Chains A and B, each alone.
Chain A
Amino acid sequence: MGHSQRELLKGSTPSLILAVLADAPRHGYGIAREIERRSGAALKLGEGSLYPALYALEREGLVSGNWETPARGGPARKVYTITEDGRAELARRTRDWQSFAASINRVLGGDEPDVQPI
């Protein structure tokens, strides 16, 4: 991953976390692996930025964390669930991202504005 991609990823970390939690509650390890899996291992979110971002989201009330003991036994893990506010924030961030990406595409791509998927 190049430097510019890392910088982009840094700002998008909260959006990625919210998107992954929108499907199912997960613990920190699960969130990191799911982001990797969905991006086809292209996005390797460093754990060092995952946890501060999760902490910020929890403090803003966008996700809520609870310690739960897995059904198959083993130590309790902190499982994060997206809140209603979190879903609203995810929708807003998705909209912003799409309009931002479309604008950048128009400038970079130049010739083909507003290409709609078939």
Chain B
Amino acid sequence: MYSRFEETPPLLSEQEGQARPSGQSERIDDYLDHVSAGLLALPYPQRAEIRRELRQHIAALAAAHEEMGSTPKAAVEAALSRFGDPARIARGFVQAWHVSSPRERMATPWLAIRHGLRWFSGAMALLALEVIGLMHAFSGPSEGLFLVSLWILPIIAGWKTGAAAPIRAGLGTFYALAALAFASLPISLPALLYLGSGANQLTALLTPVFAFWMPLGCLSASLSGTLSGKRAARFRRV
């Protein structure tokens, strides 16, 4: 049910954005800016969707007032007066957000890190199984599994992290690094304790993680973060 909110609303057509004379359009934008300012507790895609929906409704109300003979300026003012105090609307949304689904109350950075953590931990577990199997020679090395755990999973993990942190492109990389650091804790902590005692399985496991995953995961996170950031920028004028 809630996954729908993570979907990106469809893009605004150019025609829709230019539907009203610029003065009135600015007045509506100004009003929506005041609503949006109170919605910072909500994730960005939801803020963008709310803004887009309110704008359409205001434009439709204003058009109805114009049809009844109002001037464009008076029509927009009449429409906005039906919506009332922007801060009050924003409070209504934020209240609804806090009342329902506590799972989604997490701040965006934690959502991003959680996405990354889920995938990096999966990859870490797979790699650990593979390396331990290799060390104990109870199963032969599987090239396919290595390909997946060394190359494909860190790319997916980075991509997911970056996409969940769409506000600024660079943050995707930072969150991916944080998720990677968290995910590798169960292995890197013992490895640090063993440091200096010569080569062992743990350091063998950590080498590919830091040699491959960091650059791959970060590259992928910054790429998907940049793409999401660009898409978000196109919504800013919705």
Binding site for B on A (CB under 8 A): 27-29, 32, 46-49, 51-53, 55-56, 59-61, 64-65, 67, 75-78
B10 near A55: Cβ-Cβ < 8 Å? no
Q: Is B92 close to A, CB under 8 A?
A: yes
Q: Is B95 close to A, CB under 8 A?
A: yes
Number of A-B contacts (CB under 8 A): 70
Contact with A along B49-82 (1 / 0, CB 8 A): 1100110110011000000000000000000001
CB distance from A82 to the nearest CB of B (A): 14
Q: Is B232 close to A, CB under 8 A?
A: no
Given the known inter-chain contacts A29-B61, A67-B10, please indicate yes or no for A51 contacting B84, CB distance below 8 A: no
Residue in B4, B60, B96 whose beta carbon sits within 8 Å of that of A52 in the complex: B96
Q: What 3 A-B pairs have minimum CB-CB distances, sorted nearest first? A: A52-B92, A56-B96, A48-B84
Q: Can you report 11 A-B residue pairs in the complex whose CB atoms are below 8 A from each other?
A: A29-B61, A47-B57, A51-B93, A52-B93, A53-B96, A55-B97, A56-B95, A60-B100, A75-B12, A75-B16, A78-B49
Q: Is B141 close to A, CB under 8 A?
A: no
Interface of chain B, main secondary structure: helix
CB distance from B2 to the nearest CB of A (A): 7
CB distance from A6 to the nearest CB of B (A): 12
Which chain B residue shows the least CB distance to A83? B1
Which residues in A have their C-beta under 8 angstroms from that of B50? 51, 55
Q: Is B89 close to A, CB under 8 A?
A: yes
B92 near A47: Cβ-Cβ < 8 Å? no
Which residues in A have their C-beta under 8 angstroms from that of B53? 28, 51, 78
CB distance from B210 to the nearest CB of A (A): 41
A75 near B56: Cβ-Cβ < 8 Å? yes
Which residues in B have their C-beta under 8 angstroms from that of A75? 12-13, 15-16, 56
Instruction: Kindly list 19 other residue pairs between chains A and B, CB separation below 8 angstroms, not including A29-B57, A77-B56.
Output: A27-B56, A29-B60, A46-B84, A47-B61, A47-B82, A48-B89, A51-B53, A51-B93, A52-B89, A53-B92, A55-B96, A55-B97, A56-B100, A59-B101, A61-B1, A64-B4, A65-B4, A75-B15, A76-B10
Which chain B residue shows the least CB distance to A67? B10
A55 near B93: Cβ-Cβ < 8 Å? yes
